[in-house]
Structure 1
């Protein structure tokens, strides 16, 4: 594929605007992208202009698909960790014709993303990275430790193994293949089904696509820079090949309640010093270029 086939997407709202803008900027600084799709929930005109300005500097086409809170009927508030902007990714097969790389806004892109469009899906409909927390807990379980919510994860991914559960923050989505599956694209928008889960969109994605997920190298979704641990645990559980190959982080993902653009506890810094410092440096450089953006 040529560079004009590279298409990335973000979901955001006003609360996530600034970190998403930084993530977008870091993506366009590492990769030649033909189009960026922004799934924007209740964005102001000023917010849209900022995103267009970032894309304009990179000479990249940016399209904003406007969504409202009413676009997510059936979802009840479950705290700030699952904003409706996170559910916006479920609209992508109705918007994009072919393959798209979806990226959460609490990320920092460090390496070129183009190879996501060269990956052979092998019949899978989406590709993602095994979830850091579930992978860690399953390794401990196999060593004889307890895991209180293991049965809940097992119910989501069954009959696939528990460690098949992926983090939905970075996804390669084959939209054309999804639309060829009867009702699947429409099922993705049945938010009342997603609402029964504590992690809403992430759990629902794992349920919908179980057995049809390609597992990527953890460098594509490096949990606070800990992708080497992810690869080691995957190998411990019997996986091999490209997925466990040691490589530098491509996308740093700062998931969870703590965020590197806010004040963080010392323990968080100790567990993820290098990744957090990388974000802080990018954060301050970005704020100098875009002083009108507010990080909260």
Structure 2
């Protein structure tokens, strides 16, 4: 429920940029009023929407990892059990800026999932290779080994081939091993990286632009030796506002300085959204 309003805005932004055929909502303990709000957003564009109700009890045994990483984040691990075909999973703290229809047309080259290298991991690895320290580098290295540390992806935007996962014996069931996932500080994100290592297609940072900073992500990716489509400079498709700070709340000056264009884009989208859906209340 804490991300209801931002999720409604994210959904609206996706519908305004892309011809979407079906919306799937992973609803964790959503109220009837919450579902009604999301239905109104979908109906505004005449797109069918389906809710998958998941109770908090489905994540029993998982410890709290901080208010900005709720247990509900684990809901994405249920997707192969609930949906057929290919799914573009998007977190609620996102803004879709450009058409994302290519996600359903691109070749995944036999990979089960696709995602973007994690912004923080890229940044730390570039600094590490220039002689600076990185305290928890070994932990991340253990998760993705024997692949390089920068293989680690952010799970806020994932292209998932649910059919391919179900066809691989035991893989869909392994995704729901929450007791194993709970060993990790970032639970679902860490677990996804371990479970699918070697089977992840790395996407251009425009698909998961950290606060709109995809140019920096591309530069670091190129600096670490990667090439091809992944390092092409292109405008952000999806901006992801990960972390404890959120653009719909009051932000410190240093966040504005670091992510001005990304924050400004969200604030403009927020203003326009609230004009059309004034009943949706954002936590300030």
* TM bucket, shorter chain: over 0.9
1:39 matched to which residue of 2?
A: 26
Distance in 1 between the 2:200 and 2:17 partners? 26
Q: Deviations over 1:37-57 (max 9, x none)?
A: 000011111110111111011
Distance in 2 between the 1:103 and 1:183 partners? 25
Q: Deviations over 1:51-96 (max 9, x none)?
A: 1111011110100000110011221112212112211100000011
Task: Using the TM superposition, give the Cα deviation of residue 110 of structure 1 relative to its aligned residue in structure 2, in angstroms.
Answer: 0.5
Task: Using the TM superposition, give the Cα deviation of residue 254 of structure 1 relative to its aligned residue in structure 2, in angstroms.
Answer: 0.4
Q: Which structure 2 residues correspond to residues 132-281 of structure 1 after superposition, within 5 A?
A: 132-281=119-268
2:6 matched to which residue of 1?
A: 19
Give aligned pairs, total: 283
Q: Structure 1, unaligned stretches of length 5 or more?
A: 1-13
Distance in 2 between the 1:43 and 1:227 partners? 33
Task: Using the TM superposition, give the Cα deviation of residue 105 of structure 1 relative to its aligned residue in structure 2, in angstroms.
Answer: 0.5
The CA RMSD measured in Å over matched residues stands at 0.7
Distance in 2 between the 1:292 and 1:83 partners? 25
Deviating 4+ runs (over 2 angstroms): none
Q: Structure 2, unaligned stretches of length 5 or more?
A: none
3-state SS in 2 of match to 1:15: coil
Distance in 1 between the 2:152 and 2:64 partners? 24
Q: Deviations over 1:119-176 (max 9, x none)?
A: 1111111000000000011111111111110000000000111000000000000000
Q: Which structure 2 residues correspond to residues 41-80 of structure 1 after superposition, within 5 A?
A: 41-80=28-67
TM-score with structure 2 length normalisation?
Answer: 0.98
3-state SS in 1 of match to 2:3: helix
Distance in 2 between the 1:200 and 1:295 partners? 27
1:109 matched to which residue of 2?
A: 96
Distance in 2 between the 1:105 and 1:119 partners? 24
Distance in 2 between the 1:275 and 1:137 partners? 21
Distance in 2 between the 1:64 and 1:247 partners? 33
Distance in 2 between the 1:78 and 1:246 partners? 34
